[in-house]
Amino acid sequence: MHPALTALLAGRPVPLEAWRSWWDQLEQRTLGPARDSDRAQAAALLASLTTRLPEPATLAALTTSLTERAPDPGPAHPASVNIVGTGGGPATFNLSTAAALTAAAMGIPVVKTGSRAYTSAAGSVDLLERLGITLTSGHAATADHLARHGIAFAGPHVYPPALTRLARILYPLTLKPFGAFLNTLGPLLATVPVTAQLTGACAAAPLDALRALAARTATRTVWLAHNSAGADELLPFADNTLHTPDGAIHLPAGSVAPDTGTLADLAPHPDDLTGHFLRALSAQAGDTATHTIALNAAALALASGRHTRWHTAYTTALDALADGAPRALAERLGARPREAAGV
């Protein structure tokens, strides 16, 4: 067993060089079926990390050992944002994706990251596939999409390549532990060329550890959000807190958007995934959905620096939803592959 894993399982600190050695070992494996020992070690690593994150120095060393291997995305796009959650918590429809499209419709550059479903009915990637919206294949493609459409949905290239190797080694074992790890730490491991990021943390997420990692993120400003309902999005009917580099922002229920509604109003619609989502983007999925999307889009507007007042940003988001601009944007993006194919 590799010394990094031995120390981790024993609860001892794991320094940066040990993590580097671990990833070097995985990268040096030849293509083809993974050895049983490799697979067992990968499974043990993820089981440990998803049961309880290690102490801060070890966790910082782990994340550094991963992000330093990722390709440089280049300079951040000015006043651009990302919104992504840890998953888990109460089941809701794809609010962060809806907020991203709404913010883009407001003129805010958005580079959105996400993943497939591990804890929800459908992750952002699953939804985008259903809508016909393609993920970008590299940082150059992301910049091109952003310039042409005001929004880009980044593909897996934003995550450290070592994580892809880890997932391949696990096969054919279940990827649920990998998904749980990616949901928790992925938002802070992705190399996204944005100036700011809104990351929602559900009640089960290790908030203190995420706050420490967010403070160490040098490539973008991270706003870490959580609320009294335990969801990984801002909710108008809950008490919300945003941890920013300048201090905490407290948004009590009803302080920006009406505090009416419940989590039941935001439930996922797996049997009508795209239909319900598109209705939500044109303010036709109920008031609670509209207010929630607008609140999260307003947070993106403030994080980007394009707006400085919550109520102005929130009202602008409401106007965009009422006009159907976010839906029109989603439909244009979804039509592009069919148009390219001559359909």
The pLDDT, as a whole number, for residue 36 is: 77
Tokens of 113: 């990251």
CA gap 3, 73 in Å, rounded: 32
What secondary structure does DSSP assign to 155-211, as a single string? -GGGS-HHHHHHHHHHTTS-SHHHHHHHHHHHHHHS----SEEEEE--TTS-HHHHH
Please state which architecture CATH assigns to domain 81-154+190-334: 3-Layer(aba) Sandwich (3.40)
pLDDT single digits (tens) 270-300: 999 999 999 999 999 999 999 999 999 999 9
Q: Quick check: bond before 172 cis, omega within 30?
A: yes
Strand partners, 224: 199, 243
pLDDT single digits (tens) 112-155: 998 776 555 678 889 999 999 999 999 999 999 999 999 999 99
3-state DSSP: the chain helix, strand, coil percent, rounded to 5? 50, 10, 40
Tokens 């620096």 appear where? 305
Ranges of each domain in the chain: 3-67, 81-154+190-334
Q: Say yes or no: do domains 3-67 and 81-154+190-334 share a fold.
A: no
Please list the ranges in the chain whose pLDDT falls under 50.
Answer: 31-32, 337-343
The pLDDT, as a whole number, for residue 118 is: 55
Backbone angles phi, psi at 218, to 5 degrees: -95, -15
The pLDDT, as a whole number, for residue 339 is: 37
The pLDDT, as a whole number, for residue 286 is: 98
CA gap 195, 7 in Å, rounded: 36
Of 27, 29, 5, the C-alpha closest to 18 is: 5
Of 180, 276, 292, the C-alpha closest to 227 is: 292
- CATH fold of the domain at 3-67: 1.20.970
CA gap 145, 287 in Å, rounded: 31
Integer CA distances (angstroms), 217 to 45, 143, 190, 191, in order: 23, 21, 11, 10
Tokens of 104: 């883009």
Greatest distance between any 2 Cα atoms in the chain: 59
Tokens of 272: 């009508």
Tokens of 270: 């797996």
Straight-line distance from the first to the last Cα atom of the chain, in angstroms, rounded to the nearest whole number: 54
Can you give the pTM of this predicted structure? Answer: 0.92
CB 148 within 8 A of CB 87: no
Tokens 């479903």 appear where? 117
